A and B are shown apart, each in its own frame.
Chain A
Amino acid sequence: MAEVILASECDVVNEVICAPAEVTDLFEFTDPWFTVGSFQFTRTSFLIFLAAFIVIALLYFGLRRGRLVPKKFELVMESAVGFVRDGIGRDVIGPEGTKYVPYLLALFLFILVGNLFEITPLINFPVFSRMALPLFLSLVTYVIFVILGFKKNGFRYVTATVWPKAVPIGLRWLVGLIELVSIFLLRPLTLAVRLFANMVAGHLMLTLLLGSGVIFLAAAPDIGLKASIGVFWFALGLFMFLLELLVAVLQAYIFTLLSAIYIESSIHLEH
Protein backbone atom coordinates (compact mmCIF):
# COMPACT_ATOMS: atom_id res chain seq x y z
CA MET A 1 0.00 0.00 0.00
CA ALA A 2 2.97 2.27 -0.39
CA GLU A 3 1.21 3.74 -3.40
CA VAL A 4 -1.10 5.69 -1.07
CA ILE A 5 1.91 7.38 0.47
CA LEU A 6 3.57 7.72 -2.92
CA ALA A 7 0.39 9.26 -4.35
CA SER A 8 -0.03 11.80 -1.54
CA GLU A 9 1.89 15.01 -1.91
CA CYS A 10 4.91 14.85 0.33
CA ASP A 11 6.84 18.02 1.10
CA VAL A 12 10.31 16.48 1.05
CA VAL A 13 11.98 19.87 1.46
CA ASN A 14 10.42 20.71 4.82
CA GLU A 15 9.28 17.37 6.27
CA VAL A 16 11.39 14.56 7.68
CA ILE A 17 8.84 11.77 7.19
CA CYS A 18 5.94 11.31 4.77
CA ALA A 19 2.46 10.55 6.09
CA PRO A 20 -0.81 10.31 4.15
CA ALA A 21 -3.47 12.94 4.82
CA GLU A 22 -5.87 10.31 6.18
CA VAL A 23 -4.47 7.30 8.05
CA THR A 24 -7.55 5.25 7.16
CA ASP A 25 -6.53 5.45 3.50
CA LEU A 26 -3.84 2.89 4.30
CA PHE A 27 -6.44 0.33 5.38
CA GLU A 28 -9.31 0.86 2.96
CA PHE A 29 -9.77 -0.33 -0.58
CA THR A 30 -12.52 1.88 -1.85
CA ASP A 31 -13.01 0.41 -5.31
CA PRO A 32 -14.80 -2.96 -5.05
CA TRP A 33 -14.02 -5.65 -7.61
CA PHE A 34 -17.70 -6.53 -7.89
CA THR A 35 -20.86 -5.97 -5.91
CA VAL A 36 -23.39 -8.58 -4.78
CA GLY A 37 -26.45 -6.77 -3.42
CA SER A 38 -25.09 -4.42 -0.77
CA PHE A 39 -21.99 -6.57 -0.28
CA GLN A 40 -18.86 -5.15 -1.85
CA PHE A 41 -16.13 -7.60 -2.72
CA THR A 42 -12.89 -5.67 -2.25
CA ARG A 43 -9.25 -6.71 -2.16
CA THR A 44 -9.58 -7.28 1.61
CA SER A 45 -12.46 -9.73 1.11
CA PHE A 46 -10.39 -11.54 -1.50
CA LEU A 47 -7.45 -11.82 0.91
CA ILE A 48 -9.71 -13.26 3.62
CA PHE A 49 -10.91 -15.98 1.25
CA LEU A 50 -7.33 -16.52 0.06
CA ALA A 51 -6.14 -17.03 3.65
CA ALA A 52 -8.91 -19.54 4.32
CA PHE A 53 -8.15 -21.33 1.05
CA ILE A 54 -4.41 -21.51 1.86
CA VAL A 55 -5.15 -23.00 5.28
CA ILE A 56 -7.47 -25.63 3.79
CA ALA A 57 -4.91 -26.49 1.10
CA LEU A 58 -2.07 -26.75 3.64
CA LEU A 59 -4.06 -29.07 5.88
CA TYR A 60 -5.37 -31.18 2.98
CA PHE A 61 -2.06 -31.72 1.18
CA GLY A 62 -0.05 -31.98 4.39
CA LEU A 63 -2.15 -34.52 6.24
CA ARG A 64 -4.20 -36.51 3.72
CA ARG A 65 -1.82 -39.51 3.55
CA GLY A 66 -0.63 -39.88 7.13
CA ARG A 67 2.58 -41.76 6.22
CA LEU A 68 4.56 -43.57 8.88
CA VAL A 69 7.67 -41.74 7.69
CA PRO A 70 6.41 -38.28 6.63
CA LYS A 71 7.95 -36.23 3.82
CA LYS A 72 9.41 -32.79 4.54
CA PHE A 73 6.22 -30.76 4.02
CA GLU A 74 4.10 -33.32 5.86
CA LEU A 75 6.54 -33.17 8.76
CA VAL A 76 6.08 -29.39 9.01
CA MET A 77 2.30 -29.71 9.05
CA GLU A 78 2.41 -32.55 11.55
CA SER A 79 4.63 -30.56 13.89
CA ALA A 80 2.22 -27.60 13.58
CA VAL A 81 -0.68 -29.87 14.57
CA GLY A 82 1.42 -31.35 17.37
CA PHE A 83 2.35 -27.89 18.61
CA VAL A 84 -1.28 -26.78 18.87
CA ARG A 85 -2.49 -30.13 20.26
CA ASP A 86 0.21 -30.64 22.90
CA GLY A 87 1.50 -27.11 23.53
CA ILE A 88 -1.84 -25.34 23.64
CA GLY A 89 -4.72 -27.85 23.80
CA ARG A 90 -3.49 -30.47 26.27
CA ASP A 91 -1.16 -28.21 28.23
CA VAL A 92 -3.81 -25.61 28.98
CA ILE A 93 -7.16 -27.41 28.92
CA GLY A 94 -6.00 -30.83 30.09
CA PRO A 95 -6.73 -34.33 28.77
CA GLU A 96 -10.19 -33.38 27.50
CA GLY A 97 -8.59 -30.53 25.55
CA THR A 98 -8.13 -32.81 22.53
CA LYS A 99 -11.79 -32.19 21.74
CA TYR A 100 -11.16 -28.48 21.10
CA VAL A 101 -7.97 -28.93 19.08
CA PRO A 102 -9.68 -28.71 15.63
CA TYR A 103 -11.06 -25.27 16.50
CA LEU A 104 -7.77 -24.10 18.00
CA LEU A 105 -5.77 -25.39 15.02
CA ALA A 106 -8.05 -23.69 12.51
CA LEU A 107 -7.86 -20.46 14.54
CA PHE A 108 -4.06 -20.61 14.81
CA LEU A 109 -3.40 -21.32 11.13
CA PHE A 110 -5.96 -18.79 9.85
CA ILE A 111 -4.59 -15.99 12.02
CA LEU A 112 -1.01 -16.97 11.19
CA VAL A 113 -1.62 -16.87 7.43
CA GLY A 114 -3.65 -13.66 7.70
CA ASN A 115 -0.88 -12.00 9.71
CA LEU A 116 1.90 -13.21 7.43
CA PHE A 117 0.13 -11.46 4.53
CA GLU A 118 1.48 -8.28 6.12
CA ILE A 119 5.04 -9.12 5.12
CA THR A 120 4.32 -11.19 2.01
CA PRO A 121 5.59 -9.33 -1.05
CA LEU A 122 2.86 -8.22 -3.51
CA ILE A 123 0.15 -8.68 -0.86
CA ASN A 124 1.47 -6.52 1.98
CA PHE A 125 -1.81 -6.19 3.79
CA PRO A 126 -2.66 -7.83 7.13
CA VAL A 127 -6.33 -8.77 6.87
CA PHE A 128 -6.61 -8.63 10.67
CA SER A 129 -6.05 -4.88 10.62
CA ARG A 130 -9.75 -4.58 9.73
CA MET A 131 -11.67 -4.76 13.00
CA ALA A 132 -14.51 -6.92 11.67
CA LEU A 133 -12.38 -10.05 11.28
CA PRO A 134 -10.66 -10.24 14.71
CA LEU A 135 -13.96 -9.22 16.32
CA PHE A 136 -15.78 -12.05 14.56
CA LEU A 137 -13.17 -14.62 15.62
CA SER A 138 -13.21 -13.40 19.21
CA LEU A 139 -17.02 -13.55 19.25
CA VAL A 140 -16.83 -17.18 18.10
CA THR A 141 -14.52 -17.91 21.04
CA TYR A 142 -16.86 -15.94 23.30
CA VAL A 143 -19.91 -17.94 22.27
CA ILE A 144 -17.98 -21.21 22.69
CA PHE A 145 -16.74 -20.49 26.21
CA VAL A 146 -20.01 -19.02 27.48
CA ILE A 147 -22.04 -21.98 26.16
CA LEU A 148 -19.45 -24.40 27.59
CA GLY A 149 -19.62 -22.66 30.95
CA PHE A 150 -23.39 -23.07 31.15
CA LYS A 151 -23.26 -26.62 29.78
CA LYS A 152 -20.63 -27.89 32.23
CA ASN A 153 -21.64 -25.95 35.35
CA GLY A 154 -25.26 -24.95 34.87
CA PHE A 155 -26.29 -21.67 36.45
CA ARG A 156 -23.38 -21.97 38.91
CA TYR A 157 -21.25 -20.53 36.12
CA VAL A 158 -22.73 -17.08 36.79
CA THR A 159 -23.20 -17.35 40.57
CA ALA A 160 -19.64 -18.57 41.18
CA THR A 161 -18.38 -15.64 39.14
CA VAL A 162 -20.47 -12.96 40.82
CA TRP A 163 -20.20 -14.42 44.35
CA PRO A 164 -16.74 -16.06 44.67
CA LYS A 165 -16.67 -18.10 47.90
CA ALA A 166 -12.87 -17.97 48.22
CA VAL A 167 -12.83 -14.19 48.75
CA PRO A 168 -13.55 -12.55 52.18
CA ILE A 169 -17.19 -11.43 52.47
CA GLY A 170 -16.36 -7.71 52.63
CA LEU A 171 -14.61 -7.67 49.28
CA ARG A 172 -16.74 -10.33 47.60
CA TRP A 173 -19.17 -7.98 45.83
CA LEU A 174 -16.30 -5.88 44.42
CA VAL A 175 -14.33 -8.87 43.15
CA GLY A 176 -17.55 -10.34 41.75
CA LEU A 177 -18.32 -7.13 39.89
CA ILE A 178 -14.81 -6.89 38.44
CA GLU A 179 -14.89 -10.56 37.41
CA LEU A 180 -18.32 -10.16 35.80
CA VAL A 181 -17.23 -7.18 33.72
CA SER A 182 -13.88 -8.69 32.82
CA ILE A 183 -15.23 -12.09 31.75
CA PHE A 184 -18.36 -11.13 29.86
CA LEU A 185 -17.38 -7.73 28.50
CA LEU A 186 -13.63 -7.17 28.43
CA ARG A 187 -12.51 -10.66 27.39
CA PRO A 188 -13.99 -10.68 23.86
CA LEU A 189 -13.17 -7.00 23.38
CA THR A 190 -9.51 -7.19 24.40
CA LEU A 191 -8.99 -10.46 22.55
CA ALA A 192 -10.08 -8.77 19.32
CA VAL A 193 -8.44 -5.40 19.94
CA ARG A 194 -5.06 -6.94 20.85
CA LEU A 195 -4.74 -8.61 17.46
CA PHE A 196 -6.23 -5.62 15.62
CA ALA A 197 -3.99 -3.05 17.33
CA ASN A 198 -0.81 -5.02 16.75
CA MET A 199 -1.57 -5.47 13.07
CA VAL A 200 -2.57 -1.83 12.56
CA ALA A 201 0.58 -0.61 14.29
CA GLY A 202 2.78 -2.95 12.27
CA HIS A 203 1.23 -2.10 8.92
CA LEU A 204 1.32 1.64 9.67
CA MET A 205 4.95 1.51 10.68
CA LEU A 206 6.00 -0.53 7.65
CA THR A 207 4.19 1.68 5.15
CA LEU A 208 5.38 4.94 6.70
CA LEU A 209 9.03 3.87 6.98
CA LEU A 210 9.40 2.06 3.65
CA GLY A 211 7.21 4.58 1.79
CA SER A 212 9.15 7.53 3.18
CA GLY A 213 12.42 5.80 2.40
CA VAL A 214 11.45 5.32 -1.24
CA ILE A 215 10.13 8.88 -1.60
CA PHE A 216 13.21 10.51 -0.07
CA LEU A 217 15.61 8.40 -2.10
CA ALA A 218 13.65 9.14 -5.29
CA ALA A 219 13.81 12.88 -4.54
CA ALA A 220 17.60 12.82 -4.18
CA PRO A 221 18.30 15.05 -7.26
CA ASP A 222 16.09 17.82 -5.82
CA ILE A 223 17.04 17.87 -2.15
CA GLY A 224 20.65 16.71 -2.30
CA LEU A 225 22.16 15.45 0.94
CA LYS A 226 18.85 15.45 2.77
CA ALA A 227 17.92 12.31 0.85
CA SER A 228 20.17 10.38 3.23
CA ILE A 229 17.23 10.44 5.66
CA GLY A 230 15.63 8.00 3.21
CA VAL A 231 18.44 5.49 3.78
CA PHE A 232 17.76 5.65 7.51
CA TRP A 233 13.98 5.19 7.10
CA PHE A 234 14.50 2.34 4.67
CA ALA A 235 16.94 0.52 6.98
CA LEU A 236 14.57 0.97 9.91
CA GLY A 237 11.73 -0.33 7.75
CA LEU A 238 13.68 -3.46 6.83
CA PHE A 239 14.42 -4.05 10.51
CA MET A 240 10.70 -3.66 11.29
CA PHE A 241 10.05 -6.24 8.58
CA LEU A 242 11.87 -8.85 10.66
CA LEU A 243 10.18 -7.68 13.83
CA GLU A 244 6.75 -7.98 12.20
CA LEU A 245 7.50 -11.62 11.36
CA LEU A 246 7.94 -12.22 15.08
CA VAL A 247 4.81 -10.22 15.94
CA ALA A 248 2.72 -12.10 13.36
CA VAL A 249 3.61 -15.51 14.81
CA LEU A 250 3.38 -14.33 18.40
CA GLN A 251 -0.06 -12.75 18.00
CA ALA A 252 -1.44 -15.88 16.34
CA TYR A 253 -0.04 -17.92 19.25
CA ILE A 254 -1.41 -15.54 21.90
CA PHE A 255 -4.89 -15.41 20.36
CA THR A 256 -5.05 -19.22 20.27
CA LEU A 257 -3.55 -19.58 23.74
CA LEU A 258 -5.99 -17.11 25.28
CA SER A 259 -8.92 -18.83 23.54
CA ALA A 260 -7.75 -22.09 25.13
CA ILE A 261 -7.33 -20.42 28.54
CA TYR A 262 -10.83 -18.94 28.35
CA ILE A 263 -12.31 -22.30 27.36
CA GLU A 264 -10.44 -23.95 30.23
CA SER A 265 -11.66 -21.39 32.77
CA SER A 266 -15.25 -22.12 31.71
CA ILE A 267 -14.80 -25.88 32.13
CA HIS A 268 -12.99 -25.76 35.50
CA LEU A 269 -14.54 -23.02 37.60
CA GLU A 270 -12.32 -23.48 40.67
CA HIS A 271 -9.44 -21.33 39.43
Chain B
Amino acid sequence: MEGDITALAPALALIGYGLGAVGPGIGIGIVAGNAITAMARQPEMQGTIRTTMFLGIALTEALALIGFVLFFIASAG
Protein backbone atom coordinates (compact mmCIF):
# COMPACT_ATOMS: atom_id res chain seq x y z
CA MET B 1 0.00 0.00 0.00
CA GLU B 2 1.58 3.24 -1.16
CA GLY B 3 0.51 6.31 0.73
CA ASP B 4 1.20 10.01 0.78
CA ILE B 5 1.98 11.16 4.31
CA THR B 6 1.15 14.81 3.50
CA ALA B 7 -2.46 13.79 2.93
CA LEU B 8 -2.63 13.08 6.65
CA ALA B 9 -1.51 16.60 7.61
CA PRO B 10 -4.97 17.95 8.53
CA ALA B 11 -5.80 14.90 10.65
CA LEU B 12 -2.43 15.01 12.41
CA ALA B 13 -2.85 18.74 13.06
CA LEU B 14 -6.25 18.05 14.58
CA ILE B 15 -4.84 15.36 16.88
CA GLY B 16 -1.95 17.65 17.81
CA TYR B 17 -4.26 20.46 18.76
CA GLY B 18 -6.40 18.07 20.78
CA LEU B 19 -3.36 16.94 22.73
CA GLY B 20 -2.19 20.54 23.12
CA ALA B 21 -5.52 21.56 24.62
CA VAL B 22 -5.33 18.98 27.42
CA GLY B 23 -2.65 20.73 29.48
CA PRO B 24 -4.15 24.26 29.40
CA GLY B 25 -7.57 22.74 30.15
CA ILE B 26 -6.28 21.17 33.37
CA GLY B 27 -4.31 24.31 34.18
CA ILE B 28 -7.28 26.68 33.78
CA GLY B 29 -9.35 24.34 35.94
CA ILE B 30 -6.76 24.54 38.71
CA VAL B 31 -6.46 28.34 38.44
CA ALA B 32 -10.22 28.97 38.44
CA GLY B 33 -10.87 26.42 41.19
CA ASN B 34 -8.29 27.92 43.50
CA ALA B 35 -9.58 31.42 42.74
CA ILE B 36 -13.08 30.32 43.79
CA THR B 37 -11.68 28.87 47.02
CA ALA B 38 -9.81 32.10 47.70
CA MET B 39 -12.90 34.24 46.99
CA ALA B 40 -15.02 32.07 49.29
CA ARG B 41 -12.50 32.45 52.09
CA GLN B 42 -11.93 36.16 51.70
CA PRO B 43 -14.79 37.82 49.79
CA GLU B 44 -13.34 41.28 50.52
CA MET B 45 -10.32 40.42 48.30
CA GLN B 46 -12.59 39.56 45.36
CA GLY B 47 -11.36 42.30 43.01
CA THR B 48 -7.69 41.48 43.41
CA ILE B 49 -8.30 37.74 43.16
CA ARG B 50 -10.35 38.12 39.99
CA THR B 51 -7.64 40.22 38.35
CA THR B 52 -4.93 37.73 39.31
CA MET B 53 -7.13 34.84 38.16
CA PHE B 54 -7.58 36.34 34.70
CA LEU B 55 -3.84 36.99 34.45
CA GLY B 56 -3.17 33.36 35.40
CA ILE B 57 -5.76 32.10 32.94
CA ALA B 58 -4.25 34.29 30.21
CA LEU B 59 -0.78 32.85 30.78
CA THR B 60 -2.09 29.27 30.92
CA GLU B 61 -4.31 29.69 27.90
CA ALA B 62 -1.40 30.94 25.78
CA LEU B 63 -0.30 27.36 25.02
CA ALA B 64 -3.74 26.36 23.79
CA LEU B 65 -3.92 29.46 21.62
CA ILE B 66 -0.50 28.76 20.09
CA GLY B 67 -1.76 25.25 19.40
CA PHE B 68 -4.83 26.72 17.69
CA VAL B 69 -2.66 28.86 15.41
CA LEU B 70 -0.32 25.97 14.63
CA PHE B 71 -3.35 23.83 13.79
CA PHE B 72 -4.37 26.29 11.09
CA ILE B 73 -0.80 26.58 9.78
CA ALA B 74 -0.28 22.81 9.71
CA SER B 75 -3.64 21.92 8.20
CA ALA B 76 -3.36 24.58 5.48
CA GLY B 77 0.22 23.74 4.48
- Which residues of A pack against B, CB within 8 Å? 87, 91-92, 182, 186, 189-190, 193-194, 197, 254, 257-258, 261
Chain A positions within 8 Å of B59 at CB level: 182
Main secondary structure of the interface of B (DSSP, over half): helix
Q: Give residues of chain B (25-62) contacting chain A, Cβ–Cβ below 8 Å.
A: 47, 51, 54-55, 58-59, 61-62
CB pair B58 A258 closer than 8 Å = yes
Please give the number of chain B residues whose Cβ is less than 8 angstroms from any Cβ of chain A in the complex.
12
Q: How would you classify the secondary structure of chain A's contact residues: helix, strand, loop or mixed?
A: helix
B65 surroundings in chain A (CB, below 8 A): 189-190, 193-194, 197
Given A189-B65, A193-B66, A258-B55, output 16 extra A-B contacts at Cβ < 8 Å. Answer: A91-B47, A182-B62, A186-B62, A190-B61, A190-B65, A193-B65, A194-B58, A194-B61, A197-B65, A197-B68, A254-B54, A254-B58, A257-B51, A257-B54, A261-B51, A261-B58
Q: Is B51 a contact partner of A193 (Cβ separation < 8 A)?
A: no
A197–B72 Cα gap in the complex (Å)?
11
Counting from the closest, the 8 A-B pairs by CB-CB distance are: A193-B65, A190-B62, A91-B47, A197-B68, A190-B65, A257-B54, A261-B55, A92-B51
B47 touches A193 (CB 8 A): no
Q: Of all chain A residues, which has the CB nearest B76?
A: A24
A186 to B65, CA, bound (A): 10
Q: Min CB distance, A217 to chain B, in Å?
A: 29
